[in-house]
């Protein structure tokens, strides 16, 4: 949190607007009111105590009355927190239910298209086959988005599956390379591995694979496609380097690319849900803005960290660390 963000926290109107609750139900506002009342009550108690020192009953009644007011404010604060927590739980549950409900018709569509596109089942013109392919790709995109929403909902409920075991990072890297080989070739992107001998990791291999796949997928998606359309000069060939090494009690793995990079003003939002940087949207229309949020949630679940350095038009390096030994 930088200084500006710290001071913005004191802008009660803005802070309360985020929750969409009336001011008298907003926790931050109520905390300030309660703090002021506590200070006032201490000062008044002191003044009254001094003036009516021979008649302690008046002081006692006053303090009891103030305590009653403070208790009712504390009760309202607790209630407003409960309501916010309930609203958050309902939102997460809503996403989960909707995502599950969406999956069934999507599977039906997917399998129906699979059947129609099976060779020899239907006579299709090239134009019809092209449309079927478009339908299939869009069903695939929708399926990915539903999966992402489900993962987000699970991350927010603290229910991400996590099965730890010992495994070599190199194996995961090789599997990811294999997974992206054809799309890298199709996008004319060269992928290299540069790693030193590192100890085995103690984590969930499918989680690490998800993280690395997402970073490599982003690096391919946001690689330059031969020519720089905005300036019209030819870029060097797109390349990605997956580098890994031991860093203290962790293993650090990073994905370096010489792609479109992230504009400076967008960098602090990059791990936020549904955020896509301006140049990413221009360059690649597909994407939900959930990938890096999920990756960060997964790494937090595994006790790891993630970060990046990036410069627009030059490229990005996304790194993550994972502990070598079980925590």
Closer to other proteins at the Cβ: 77 or 95?
Answer: 95
Token pair of 134 as six digits: 């478009």
Strand partners, 227: 234
DSSP state of 267: G
Least distance to other proteins, CB of residue 158, Å: 13
Least distance to other proteins, CB of residue 122, Å: 11
Nearest to 193, CA basis, from 214, 217, 176, 208: 176
Least distance to other proteins, CB of residue 103, Å: 4
Least distance to other proteins, CB of residue 289, Å: 21
Least distance to other proteins, CB of residue 105, Å: 8
Least distance to other proteins, CB of residue 92, Å: 14
User: DSSP states of 186-206 as a string?
Assistant: HTT-EEEEEE---PPEEE-HH
Residue 318 CA to residue 306 CA, distance in Å, equals 7
Least distance to other proteins, CB of residue 110, Å: 7
Residues 6+ apart with CB under 8 A from 320: 211, 215, 252, 253, 254, 295, 299, 304, 305, 306, 307
Asked if residue 216 lies in contact with residue 240, where contact means CB atoms within 8 angstroms, the answer is yes
Residue 293 CA to residue 148 CA, distance in Å, equals 10
Closer to other proteins at the Cβ: 11 or 101?
Answer: 101
Q: Which positions lie near other proteins, rule CB under 8 A?
A: 100, 103-104, 106-108, 110-112, 114-115, 118, 143, 146-147, 159, 161
Of all helices (H) and strands (E), which one includes residue 317? strand 315-323
Beta pairing class for 201-203 and 165-167: antiparallel
Closer to other proteins at the Cβ: 131 or 162?
Answer: 162
Closer to other proteins at the Cβ: 24 or 111?
Answer: 111
Token pair of 161 as six digits: 């599956």
What is the chain's Cα-based Rg?
28
Closer to other proteins at the Cβ: 139 or 262?
Answer: 139
Closer to other proteins at the Cβ: 26 or 95?
Answer: 95
Closer to other proteins at the Cβ: 110 or 225?
Answer: 110
């Amino acid at each position: 949190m930088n200084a500006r963000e710290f001071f913005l926290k004191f802008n009660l109107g803005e802070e309360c607007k985020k929750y969409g609750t009336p001011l008298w139900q907003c926790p931050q506002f109520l905390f300030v009111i309660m703090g002021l009342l506590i200070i006032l009550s201490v000062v008044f108690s002191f003044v009254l105590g001094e003036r009516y020192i021979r008649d302690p009953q008046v002081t006692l009644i006053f303090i009891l009355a103030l305590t009653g007011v403070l208790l009712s404010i504390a009760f309202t604060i607790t209630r407003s927190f409960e309501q916010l927590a309930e609203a958050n739980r309902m939102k997460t549950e809503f996403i989960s239910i909707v995502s599950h409900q969406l999956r069934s018709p999507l599977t039906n569509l997917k399998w129906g298209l699979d059947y129609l596109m099976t060779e020899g089942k239907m006579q299709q013109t090239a134009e019809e086959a092209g449309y079927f392919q478009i339908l299939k790709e869009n069903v695939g995109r929708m399926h990915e988005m539903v999966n992402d929403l489900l993962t987000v909902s699970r991350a927010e409920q603290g229910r991400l599956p996590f099965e730890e075991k010992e495994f070599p990072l190199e194996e995961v890297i090789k599997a990811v390379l294999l997974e992206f080989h054809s799309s890298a070739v199709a996008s004319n992107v060269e992928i290299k591995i540069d790693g030193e001998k590192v100890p085995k990791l103690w984590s969930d291999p499918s989680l690490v694979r998800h993280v690395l796949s997402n970073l490599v997928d982003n690096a391919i998606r946001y690689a330059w496609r031969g020519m720089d359309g905005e300036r019209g000069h030819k870029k060097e060939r797109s390349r990605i380097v997956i580098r890994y090494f031991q860093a203290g009690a962790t293993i650090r793995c990073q994905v370096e690319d010489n792609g479109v990079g992230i504009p400076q003003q967008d960098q602090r939002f990059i791990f936020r849900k549904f955020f896509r940087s301006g140049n990413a949207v221009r360059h690649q229309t597909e994407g939900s803005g959930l990938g890096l949020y999920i990756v960060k949630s997964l790494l937090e679940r595994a006790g790891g960290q993630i970060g990046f350095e990036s410069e627009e038009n030059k490229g990005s390096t996304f790194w993550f660390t994972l502990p070598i030994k079980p925590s």
